[in-house]
Chains A and B, each alone.
Chain A
Amino acid sequence: MLIRLVRAHLAPYRRSVAVIAVLQLAQTAATLYLPNLNADIIDSGIAHGDHGYIVRVGTVMVAVALVQLVCSYLAVRIGARVAMALGRDLRRSVFARVQAFSVREMARFGAPSLITRTTNDVQQVQMLVLLTLTLMVSAPIMCVGGIVLAVEQDAPLSIALVVLAPVLGIAIGAILRGLAPLSNAMQRSIDSVNRVMREQITGLRVIRAFVKENHESRRFAAANTELTDVSVRVGRLMALMFPAVMTIVNVASAAVLWFGAKRVDSGDMTIGALTAFISYLLQLLMAAVMATYMLLWIPRAEVCAGRIVEVLDTESSVAPPARPVRGLARRGHVEMRGVGFHYPGAETGVLDGITLSAGPGQTTAVIGGTGSGKSTLLSLIPRLSDATAGTVFVGGVDVRDLDPGLLSRTVGYVPQRPYLFSGTIASNLRYGAPDATDEDLWRALETAQARDFVEALGDGLDARIDQGGTNVSGGQRQRLAIARALVGRPDVYLFDDSFSALDYATDARLRAALAAETAEAAVIVVAQRVGTIRDADRIVVLDAGRIVGAGTHPELLRGNDTYREIVLSQLTEAEAA
């Protein structure tokens, strides 16, 4: 997963990566060359007491060290650039992918997990790539180079390296093998800590209202302890890594000295060569320590990469059309033919065999019990989800073939929960129509019965709106959401129980104003109150996902039991009599 993900996203930076490799090669070569020069100083300089030679070689060593400095800094610079760009690109890809998701995929992952994946998980992968490019690239080069140079100094003694390498490999491999499953458990524990914490922030009022602070503390403590336990187990295993590597290499250097002494004794090796050999061994140690440093990041980054790939590989169930239709056949028309919707794996469908149509200037009301599928029905029109059976037409075109931009301009949607974005009133109202003038905004506010309270705010259209619109009341939020849909002057209006938080007087005034505004448009209203929909041209009664009646208010009152029951329930017996 990790390799696949990183390789795919490093492709645009292939040239930079190649440059980094060259720089690291040069840098490593310089580092490795230094002990060689040092051996020279000992053998030729010290042994012969040649001061001039010592100074000359010393100068060369400084020059080589400078080359090393320049190369490694450039490598770090370019590496930082590439790694951070990779992180940026990954975040961008994940965000773009999630934006393309339909309601269904959103629900499958859940927003908290998607948020973690967009920022935190990418951060882990980015960190690993950074370490790899700036530090690790040189580790294998250093290892190979160190081995080559050691062999060059004294081939027979290098047999020690042949023993050393697999011992190191086995030790590191065993530790990593133990780490892999623990890292998985660790990322899951982090997820659950994050989830509980997020829930506590969003549900603070309920927690306090039910005096569940202690319960929540325990719930959190359980998740927290679990994370700590896993982290400690990971840490203990990691604790073996550095000492194991150090000990193996250090003991090896003792062994090398022993065998080296034998070879010096027999005259097969010089003292300088032995010293250089031990230096190379220490280089190898450095490289191994650096490598382990990175290896420790791998298991967690691998898990994170898996989570990112899972998002990137998920296709939205609402696919954009291959050849989008950019014009409407009939304006102000909505039609559903045999439409059904059901969640995969659910026993019963949410909607089944829905057929209805609405033309310009017509208001169609949808009424029915909670869970009868009203909101789902509306959500199929702006393609928040796609129907699993049948076809939805807007303006005479199958919505699945319509250009998405055209569809969103054609349909004005007011959701059940009137969510506003942080910004100003104006920025929220211009949400669907960026080019609207201030007059357009005021007009929409007037229709939505929101003009008065917006005017009362000191800043008018520029008044601040907090995330979710939490700094205005539920009723004000609903009216702003209605105004937002009105600003774009769409052909089709969808109101999903959009008047529930309004008092009756406001509701009535709003509907009267709306009627004038929507004279050319098809209006579909989901409502709970009979008063809101009584004047609709057509009322569709929904029960358990099926249409059980359709007609005008008087028709339904006479002929439809479900409808009559709903109407009567809104009046006390005295008033109904």
Chain B
Amino acid sequence: MRNPDGKTPSPGPEDPAANRARGGAASRPPDRSSDFGATARRTTALVTRRRGLFAGVLATGALGVGLTVAGPVLLGRATDLVVSGSFDDAGNGIDFGAVARMVAYAAAVYLAAGLCGVLQARMATVAVQGAAERLRRDVEAKLARIPLGYLDRTHRGEIISRVTNDIDNLAQCVQQVLSQLVVSVLTIVGVVAVMFWVSWLLALIALLTVPLSVLAVAWIGRRSQPEFTRQWQHTGRLNAHVEEMYTGHSLVKAFGREEQSQAVFDAENERLYEASRRAQEVSGLVQPLMMFLGNLNYVLVAAVGGLRVASGALTVGDVQAFIQYSRQFSQPLGMLAGMLGMVQSGIASAERVFELLDAPDQAPDPAEPARAPAGLGRVAFEDVSFRYVLDTPLIEGLSLVAEPGHTVAIVGPTGAGKTTLVNLLMRFYEVTGGRITLDEVDIAAMSRADLRSRIGMVLQDTWLFGGTIAQNIAYGAAHATRDQVVEAAKAAHADRFIRTLPDGYDTVIDDEGGSGISAGEKQLLTIARAFMTDPTILVLDEATSSVDTRTEVLIQQAMTRLRQDRTAFVIAHRLSTIRDADTIVVMAGGAIVEQGSHEQLVGAGGVYSRLYAAQFADAAAEVDRRAVN
């Protein structure tokens, strides 16, 4: 969530606001329909990926529909038998044997249709849920490939909303749509076929309303789609505000800003309400309209059918079956149209998910990655440059060598580029000039996994995942025993506070600090985590700034032990923690201004000596004097 050096490259094309706007309405391509089509095709491809399964869905669907359509035909025959029997002047009455046969056939056909329906729905479920699983997996896999810069520049609540709200909505919509779509479409086709078979005239009348329906749906759809897009955009924005306010909850309280925060929430909430309401109001017109067209159909069939029977062209049974068909026909048509809202809502969400999936990846690892020899750990920055925006370099022509086993301390004022160095070494960001080598191998030629597995690091911002304390400590070492975990905790001086927690090492924690763990304690846990791995290179990024001084001294001793035989980069504001470093690098404005040991630099009378003097003349030296007195 942060830039490599934690600061804004002065506003430019890479400005976060501009980037964020890419997710907004302003940046959407003007041609909504082509966008819609592409997204719809992509979603369909996702669902129909398992061809065999999907063929099964279609086959059972077709069979089921065929049977469902056959039912009324048989019942119509039965009706005819009843009619001819009751109007039979010969007085033979109704042929109940034949009626019974027809009715039994119909019942059997309906049962078989039901069976097909069950099979079809079961297969559809597997297809849809498989697709949803795959989409979630794709998004998760994307997180492993996405450049850090993308996440750093995007609102966290916004991304989370895409991953949770939008995928959830998409899965629900696809599930709903697919379970009805296949049956609806096939039913319509089947019913139309049979209707033509029975009476082409009534069939044409029934079909009269179809173009009307299509026009109506298209007209409404054009108006409702933007509303659905807005609905999910506002959901994302509302989520972003909620996420931010819940994260900064204690500040909202301390500054008495509940009312203002609520006001912002209310405004965004109102916009979400407006968009959702309009989306539903507009798309909600479809269902009644389709019902009306269906009823119109019904009336026409009844009237025209009645006239045809009167003129002797049709039997009453035919009309009865036809009325049933026109119901069977308009019902799936109505359902199909009623899905409009679902489809549009799902597509609006799918677009937001695909947008995340389509963000450019970081450069892939080389096909045949170079491997640095194991266990040495000589790191060299050779004329390294880095910039976000082309005209504002953050690091310029920086060269620096860390010999194996040496400790390099990096100091300098805020904004000097210290954290950027670490980000480049870890390849969180790639250099834009020069190269960094590990034991003479360009790290850009190595695989990221290989490189990072050689580096143990404690980051400025701690991160704990939901799990027990023991699991968090053992994060870098999969098969660690409890004894090893306790040992690491003791080395990081976290053991004492862990034992004061209700469940000790089995206390469940998460990154929100759910168990009353302080920032300093979190830091101790992340230090213990670094102890668990056995890296060649160590990076301590202001690692001890939140730990109290008493603990820090103990950590220093442990760190010194840990640093033995390892190359270490230490970034610290407190000069006291780095006095024993082999090399101290003083940075300013993205370049190295001084380099040498503590004694050398103090003697040189440059920036470092001034920093040191300021620190001790102003504070510690006096403490020192009083302590002696």
When distances are taken between beta carbons in the complex, the residues of chain B under 8 Å from A199 are 465-466, 510-511
Contact A474 B140 (CB under 8 A): no
Extra inter-chain contacts (16) besides given A198-B163, A209-B452, CB under 8 Å: A84-B277, A92-B266, A110-B512, A203-B511, A206-B463, A210-B529, A225-B133, A235-B126, A236-B122, A250-B68, A254-B103, A265-B86, A345-B502, A348-B500, A379-B250, A500-B573
- Pairs across A and B, CB under 8 Å, 24 listed: A41-B306, A61-B299, A76-B287, A87-B276, A88-B270, A107-B516, A205-B428, A208-B428, A210-B476, A210-B533, A217-B140, A232-B125, A235-B122, A246-B113, A246-B114, A250-B106, A419-B251, A470-B3, A474-B460, A553-B626, A570-B549, A571-B624, A575-B616, A575-B621
B125, B157, B411, B512: the one within 8 Å of A107 (CB): B512
Contact B111 A251 (CB under 8 A): yes
B155, B280, B419, B575: the one within 8 Å of A84 (CB): B280
B151, B239, B306: the one within 8 Å of A201 (CB): B151
- The residue in chain A whose Cβ has the minimal distance to the Cβ of B116 is A243
A12-56: CB near B (< 8 Å → 1, else 0) gives 000000000000000000010010011001100110010100110
Contact A474 B542 (CB under 8 A): yes
- The residue in chain B whose Cβ has the minimal distance to the Cβ of A30 is B295
Contact B256 A228 (CB under 8 A): no
- Given A99-B262, A240-B118, A251-B110, check contact A197 B549 (CB 8 Å): no
A478-510 residues with Cβ-Cβ distance < 8 A to B are 484, 488, 497, 500-508
A96, A123, A264: the one within 8 Å of B165 (CB): A123
A96, A384, A474: the one within 8 Å of B253 (CB): A384
Q: B481: CB under 8 A from chain A? A: no
Cα–Cα distance between A32 and B575 once the two chains are bound (Å): 86
When distances are taken between beta carbons in the complex, the residues of chain B under 8 Å from A73 are 284-285, 288-289
Contact A98 B296 (CB under 8 A): no
- The residue in chain B whose Cβ has the minimal distance to the Cβ of A270 is B86
Contact A46 B310 (CB under 8 A): yes
Q: Which of B159, B614, B621, B627 has the most CB of A within 10 A?
A: B627
Cα–Cα distance between A130 and B284 once the two chains are bound (Å): 10
A260-301 residues with Cβ-Cβ distance < 8 A to B are 260-262, 264-265, 271, 274-275, 278-279, 282, 286
Q: B550: CB under 8 A from chain A? A: yes
Total B residues in contact with A, Cβ cutoff 8 Å = 207
Question: Closest Cβ of chain A: how far from B475's Cβ, in Å?
Answer: 6
Cα–Cα distance between A85 and B546 once the two chains are bound (Å): 46
When distances are taken between beta carbons in the complex, the residues of chain A under 8 Å from B573 are 475, 500-504
Contact A204 B143 (CB under 8 A): yes
- The residue in chain B whose Cβ has the minimal distance to the Cβ of A568 is B627
Q: B568: CB under 8 A from chain A? A: no
Q: A360: CB under 8 A from chain B? A: no
When distances are taken between beta carbons in the complex, the residues of chain A under 8 Å from B82 are 257, 260-261, 264-265, 271, 274
When distances are taken between beta carbons in the complex, the residues of chain A under 8 Å from B331 are 286
Q: B564: CB under 8 A from chain A? A: no
Question: Closest Cβ of chain A: how far from B444's Cβ, in Å?
Answer: 16
When distances are taken between beta carbons in the complex, the residues of chain A under 8 Å from B140 are 197, 200, 216-217, 220, 224
- The residue in chain B whose Cβ has the minimal distance to the Cβ of A383 is B253
Q: B148: CB under 8 A from chain A? A: yes
When distances are taken between beta carbons in the complex, the residues of chain B under 8 Å from A111 are 243, 246-247, 249, 512
Q: A151: CB under 8 A from chain B? A: no
When distances are taken between beta carbons in the complex, the residues of chain B under 8 Å from A458 are 10-11
Question: Closest Cβ of chain A: how far from B32's Cβ, in Å?
Answer: 22
B298, B306, B626: the one within 8 Å of A34 (CB): B298
Contact A209 B459 (CB under 8 A): yes
Q: A519: CB under 8 A from chain B? A: no
Question: Closest Cβ of chain A: how far from B69's Cβ, in Å?
Answer: 12
Q: B201: CB under 8 A from chain A? A: no
Pick the interface stretch among A3-11, A324-332, A387-395, A461-469. A461-469
When distances are taken between beta carbons in the complex, the residues of chain B under 8 Å from A38 are 298, 302, 323
Q: B242: CB under 8 A from chain A? A: yes
When distances are taken between beta carbons in the complex, the residues of chain B under 8 Å from A470 are 1-3, 6, 152
Cα–Cα distance between A472 and B124 once the two chains are bound (Å): 50
Q: A188: CB under 8 A from chain B? A: no
B125, B521, B553: the one within 8 Å of A239 (CB): B125
Contact B550 A566 (CB under 8 A): yes
When distances are taken between beta carbons in the complex, the residues of chain A under 8 Å from B242 are 95, 115, 118-119
When distances are taken between beta carbons in the complex, the residues of chain B under 8 Å from A130 are 280
When distances are taken between beta carbons in the complex, the residues of chain B under 8 Å from A443 are none
Question: Closest Cβ of chain B: how far from A553's Cβ, in Å?
Answer: 7
- Given A254-B106, A261-B78, check contact A569 B626 (CB 8 Å): no
Contact A49 B291 (CB under 8 A): no
Q: A422: CB under 8 A from chain B? A: yes
B94, B292, B323: the one within 8 Å of A261 (CB): B94
A181-216: CB near B (< 8 Å → 1, else 0) gives 000000000100111111111111111111111011
Contact B151 A473 (CB under 8 A): no
B75-104: CB near A (< 8 Å → 1, else 0) gives 100110111011000000110100110011
- The residue in chain A whose Cβ has the minimal distance to the Cβ of B8 is A471
Contact A500 B118 (CB under 8 A): no
Cα–Cα distance between A532 and B107 once the two chains are bound (Å): 89
- Given A58-B303, A120-B165, A206-B459, check contact A370 B518 (CB 8 Å): yes
B151, B165, B254, B548: the one within 8 Å of A119 (CB): B165
B129, B295, B516: the one within 8 Å of A235 (CB): B129
Question: Closest Cβ of chain B: how far from A246's Cβ, in Å?
Answer: 6
Cα–Cα distance between A112 and B258 once the two chains are bound (Å): 19
Pick the interface stretch among A64-72, A141-149, A154-162. A64-72
Q: B36: CB under 8 A from chain A? A: no
A338-396 residues with Cβ-Cβ distance < 8 A to B are 343, 345-348, 350, 367-372, 375-376, 379, 382-384
Contact A471 B121 (CB under 8 A): no
Contact A81 B277 (CB under 8 A): yes
When distances are taken between beta carbons in the complex, the residues of chain B under 8 Å from A170 are none
Cα–Cα distance between A205 and B500 once the two chains are bound (Å): 29
Q: A560: CB under 8 A from chain B? A: no
Q: A103: CB under 8 A from chain B? A: yes
Q: B202: CB under 8 A from chain A? A: no
Contact A572 B265 (CB under 8 A): no
- The residue in chain A whose Cβ has the minimal distance to the Cβ of B612 is A504
When distances are taken between beta carbons in the complex, the residues of chain A under 8 Å from B120 are 239
Contact A239 B111 (CB under 8 A): no
Question: Closest Cβ of chain A: how far from B208's Cβ, in Å?
Answer: 14
Contact A200 B132 (CB under 8 A): no
Q: A106: CB under 8 A from chain B? A: yes
- Given A194-B163, A375-B518, check contact A200 B143 (CB 8 Å): yes
B350-407 residues with Cβ-Cβ distance < 8 A to A are none
B143, B254, B281, B620: the one within 8 Å of A411 (CB): B254
Cα–Cα distance between A80 and B103 once the two chains are bound (Å): 43
Contact A228 B133 (CB under 8 A): yes
- Given A73-B288, A209-B452, A261-B99, check contact A243 B465 (CB 8 Å): no
When distances are taken between beta carbons in the complex, the residues of chain A under 8 Å from B133 are 224-225, 227-228
Q: B442: CB under 8 A from chain A? A: no
Cα–Cα distance between A98 and B244 once the two chains are bound (Å): 13
- Given A68-B291, A368-B548, check contact A228 B94 (CB 8 Å): no
When distances are taken between beta carbons in the complex, the residues of chain A under 8 Å from B502 are 345-347
Cα–Cα distance between A369 and B549 once the two chains are bound (Å): 8
When distances are taken between beta carbons in the complex, the residues of chain A under 8 Å from B15 are 464
Question: Closest Cβ of chain B: how far from A296's Cβ, in Å?
Answer: 9
Cα–Cα distance between A405 and B254 once the two chains are bound (Å): 10
- The residue in chain B whose Cβ has the minimal distance to the Cβ of A531 is B619
Cα–Cα distance between A61 and B300 once the two chains are bound (Å): 9
Contact B161 A119 (CB under 8 A): yes
When distances are taken between beta carbons in the complex, the residues of chain B under 8 Å from A375 are 518-519
Contact B413 A503 (CB under 8 A): yes
When distances are taken between beta carbons in the complex, the residues of chain A under 8 Å from B455 are 209
When distances are taken between beta carbons in the complex, the residues of chain A under 8 Å from B273 are 84-85, 87-88
Q: A415: CB under 8 A from chain B? A: yes
Contact A569 B285 (CB under 8 A): no
When distances are taken between beta carbons in the complex, the residues of chain B under 8 Å from A502 are 414, 573
